[in-house]
Structure 1
Amino acid sequence: MKVILVTPNYHQQRGNTITVQRIAEKLSKLKIQTEVVSITEGHNIKTLPSGDMIHGFNAYHFYKLKQEVSTKIDDYVVTLTGTDLNHDLFDQNKRKNVVQCVLEAEFVHVFSEEAKQLLIREVPTVTNKVVVIPQDTDELDVDSGFPFLKEENTLLFVLPAGIRHVKNIPFAINGLKNIQSEFPFIRLLLVGPVLEETEWQQVKTLIDENQPWVRYIGEVQHKKMGTIYQQADVLLNTSYSEGQSTAIMEGMASGLPVLVSKNNGNLSLVTHGSTGFVYENIVDFYHFAKQLIQHHDVRTKLGRTAQEYIAKHHTNSNEAKSLSELYKHIIHNRK
């Protein structure tokens, strides 16, 4: 079997890219051949490679491509990855594409029950073909020669995210700035590629204003993120919305306490007070950040519970095997 995986901006290290790389790698272990097609702005794709199955990631971008290519795409699986479900579905200029994409799909794959319920509230007729398959986590390397080294006697917050508006990175800088004078030993490390130039200019200004306690090291090869997590004390996610953040899962798997914004994707992973802290506003953020700074036992307890949760629900969760069964079902019915 050969599966064509179609995803936006595969050349950039985004959540979708990491997800597709992981799925492709695990499908190969099941003797399933894959080929990735990147939907990249400014590069017109006329046809898709030949294969037995087409699997699209991000309903909005995939459906746009479906309308433009000459390749006939009648039966496919589509994965709703985050922005398409939480934003595009509610954007009057994009909603039609998302809805049509899920209506025409053989199966619609989402990462959590919360995502499924959101989708069927908006498009009830797809209820019977929405499948929840949790993401697996990747094994990451720890590189003793990695150039970033945490300063001694500091407490390190890490925010791994591509720099774009939806990630709300200025909130993290401004939020910690307001307590940094009380706790001058805290540090914030930003890790990720620049994906939106306008947003980068705003973030860069804040970084420059808050040196040396805020540092940006750009994009780090995904497999080497284990080195970052090993040095971190707390993992942050300040996004306005998420699908199901790979970075949060990896941080939790590394035993880190997490402090995350309240959105559906984050709530599918983090149970407040058990596997991490979830904030709704800046007052919450201050309160929970201070608890994590001041109480080592709180960090340890949350990190341990988070690690146990990921080990139980997102390690070897048969993600690729479940997807392969969907593919086989579609191919069998086609024949």
Structure 2
Amino acid sequence: MKLLFLACLEPKTGNHTTAERIRSHIESAGHTCELHHAEEFQSSSDLANLLSQNIQFDGALAIHLFKAGRLLLDIQVPFGIVFGGTDVNEDVKVEKRRAVMENVLLKARFAVAFTEKMKQEAMLYLHSQSSKTYVQPQGIETDISEDFDWTEFLQSAEWHSENPQNVLVIIGPKIDPVLTDAVEAVVRRTAGVFLAQERRQPELHAAMKRCFALVNSSISEGMSAAILEAMDLGLPVLARNIPGNTAIVQNEVTGLVYSSPQEFVHQSQRLLSDHQLRARVIRNGKVYVVKHHSVKQERETYQRLVNMLH
């Protein structure tokens, strides 16, 4: 079976990594899966017209109901859809987008949510059918580069006088220009904080492995692969108290949760001073990832669901 797969494919992002992993699951079952960046197409009719002029696909798959799923509404083949965090966290707040996403769910053969909470929110806000939506957490595998040099970050950063060894490194691509400008402005006037370009995943994992902790400060998440990767690498996690994070981080069990800058400082200081706490969340985080985020289970789920597109 030949499948069209649409996703947001900005280089070296979590979305790209997730899409590539799912594609590998599908192709390992003997299918052909052609991955395309959703931004290649302007509308559903644009995609439908393009497909009509090329080799026929047997089915399609997309990550994000609005960003990519809307492009599948006019195609003449069955498709499945994978929820993204912005679907149930942000896009449902916009009436026109919510209507589009409801239409996508109505036409999809199946939908995949990363967590049970995400499935429940989709049922509540998008009227999705429970029997059509499957819960499959992201599968996690980490790969550490052996030749990654971390010294460039340490040499480029300074810290406040209390503890010059403490450095916050922010790594990632510049996707949102407005947000990027705001972050860069803050970093320029803040000692000890360093911005770094995106890295290949093995290099990123090597950098994470050499850090004291991973911080997730997102205000909206579906399921943070960075958090799960940190747990797998044996790195303690400090995560903002939002639904997408607390679905995978249990405070003082698999990580530490904070709701304000003051609480972040408090939790960070606890992690620095309480070695038993640090050891416990590292141990429990690793156990959690191994138990609930198996790549093998993820592969079997997507291979089974793709068969529903026949």
Structures share fold, TM-score greater than 0.5: yes
Contact 2:101 2:126 in 1 (8 A): no
Look up the SS of the partner of 1:190 in the other structure: strand
2:223 corresponds to 1:244: yes
Do residues 72 (structure 1) and 72 (structure 2) align?
A: no
* Alignment match of 1:316 (pick from 286, 295, 309): 295
What does 1:154-303 align with in structure 2 at a 5 Å threshold?
182-211=162-191, 213-303=192-282
Structure-1 separation of matches of 2:246 and 2:197: 27
Q: Is the 8 A contact 2:141 2:295 kept in 1?
A: no
Asked if structure 2 preserves the Cα contact closer than 8 Å seen for 1:237 and 1:260, the reply is yes
Q: Where does the alignment leave 5 or more consecutive residues of structure 1 unmatched?
A: 157-176
In structure 2, the residue matched to 1:4 is: 4
Whether 2:66 is the aligned partner of 1:60: answer yes
Q: Which of 119, 131, 135 is the matching residue for 1:132?
A: 135
Root-mean-square deviation (Å): 2.3
1:88 aligned residue: 91
- Are the equivalent residues in 2 in contact too, given 1:135–1:317 (CA < 8 A)? no
Moved more, 42-51 or 127-136: 42-51
- 2:56 is the alignment partner of 1:50: yes
1:208 deviates by 1.4
Partner of 1:34: 33
Contact between 2:148 and 2:206, CA under 8 Å: does it hold in 1?
Answer: no
TM-superposed deviation, 1:16: 1.6
Deviation at 1:18, TM superposition (A): 1.0
Structure 2 unaligned segments of length 5 or more: list them: none
What amino acid maps onto 1:195 in structure 2?
I
For the structure 1 residues 22 and 125, does the alpha-carbon distance in structure 2 shift closer, same or farther, using more than 3 Å as the test? closer
C-alpha distance in 1 between matches for 2:164 and 2:10: 38
Give the aligned residue type for 1:308. V
Shift of 1:32: 2.5
Query: C-alpha displacement at 1:266, in angstroms?
Result: 0.9
Check if 1:141 corresponds to 2:136. Answer: no
2:63 and 2:56 map into 1 onto residues whose CA distance is: 18
1:181 deviates by 5.2
Q: Is the 8 A contact 2:153 2:194 kept in 1?
A: no
Q: Is the 8 A contact 1:115 1:264 kept in 2?
A: no
Q: C-alpha offsets along residues 306-329 of structure 1, whole Å, 9 cap, x if unaligned?
A: 011101111334212211111213
Q: How far, CA to CA, are the matches of 2:308 and 2:101 in structure 1?
A: 23
**Compared with structure 1, are the counterparts of its residues 182 and 42 closer, same or farther at alpha carbon in structure 2 (3 Å cutoff)?**
farther
Aligned length: 301
Q: Verify the 8 A CA contact 2:171 2:197 in the aligned structure 1.
A: yes
Secondary structure, counterpart of 1:61 in structure 2: coil
Cα separation, partners in 2 of 1:63 and 1:34, compared to 1, 3 Å: closer
Give the secondary structure class of the aligned counterpart of 1:64: helix
CA–CA separation in structure 2 for the residues paired with 1:327 and 1:138: 22
Contact map agreement 2:148 2:207 (CA 8 A) in 1: no
Shift of 1:41: 6.4
Task: Name the aligned partner's letter for residue 214 of structure 1.
Answer: V
Give the secondary-structure state (helix, strand or coil) at the position aligned to 2:294: coil
Determine the C-alpha separation between the residues in 1 that align with 2:36 and 2:66: 15
For 2:117 and 2:21, locate their aligned partners in 1 and report how far apart those are by CA, in whole Å: 23
Task: Determine which of 76, 80, 102 is the counterpart of 1:99.
Answer: 102
Q: Deviations over 1:228-249 (max 9, x none)?
A: 1211111010111101011111
Using structure 1 for the length normalisation, give the TM-score: 0.83
SS in 1 for 2:25: helix
Residue identity opposite 1:5 in structure 2? F
Given that 2:115 and 2:135 are in contact with CA atoms closer than 8 Å, whether structure 1 keeps it comes out as yes
CA–CA distance in structure 2, aligned partners of residues 41 and 33 of structure 1: 20
